[in-house]
Amino acid sequence: MKEQETFYPIGTLDQFLPQIGRTVKWREWEIAVFRTSDGGVYALENRSPHPKGGPLAEGIVSGHYLYDPLHDWKIDLTTGLVQQPDQGQVLTFPAKVEDGQVHIAAPAVQTA
């Protein structure tokens, strides 16, 4: 049986402008939160998977993809997967909008 996720409010929807990333500090993470033009809200760890790293919050959003601002890697906002020919993955956080509030939950922990 799947464990119930606990969501925590991080701000009102109007604090997250469409197609512009915003950095939120929550627990031990720095999270880049994006609101797409179709109203979706996505949350990723604000750290590029590129070997040289860098922040993601200043990236360019197009559809459901984020373009890394330093390395131009294309990242799927829904899965965190870097698109080919590059490879890697960003930690994603479940996000939802409820009653005008943006909420996030802890990322799913994968065990070996």
Q: Report pLDDT for 3.
A: 54
Please determine, for residue 82, whether its predicted confidence score (pLDDT) is greater than 90: yes
Q: Report pLDDT for 5.
A: 81
pLDDT digit string (tens) for 30-71? 999 999 999 899 999 999 999 999 999 999 999 999 999 999
Q: Report pLDDT for 110.
A: 45
User: Domains in the chain, please, with CATH?
Assistant: 19-95 (2.102.10.10)
How close are the terminal C-alpha atoms of the chain, in Å?
Answer: 19
Q: Judging by DSSP bridges, how do beta strands 29-35 and 41-45 pair with one another?
A: antiparallel
> What is the C-alpha separation between 17 and 2, in angstroms, rounded?
33
Please determine, for residue 102, whether its predicted confidence score (pLDDT) is greater than 80: yes
DSSP-assigned letter for residue 82: B
Strand partners, 78: none
99 contact partners, CB below 8 Å, separation of at least 6: none
pLDDT tier for residue 4 given thresholds of 50, 70 and 90 = low
pTM, two decimals, is 0.88
Q: Report pLDDT for 112.
A: 35
Strand partners, 12: 101
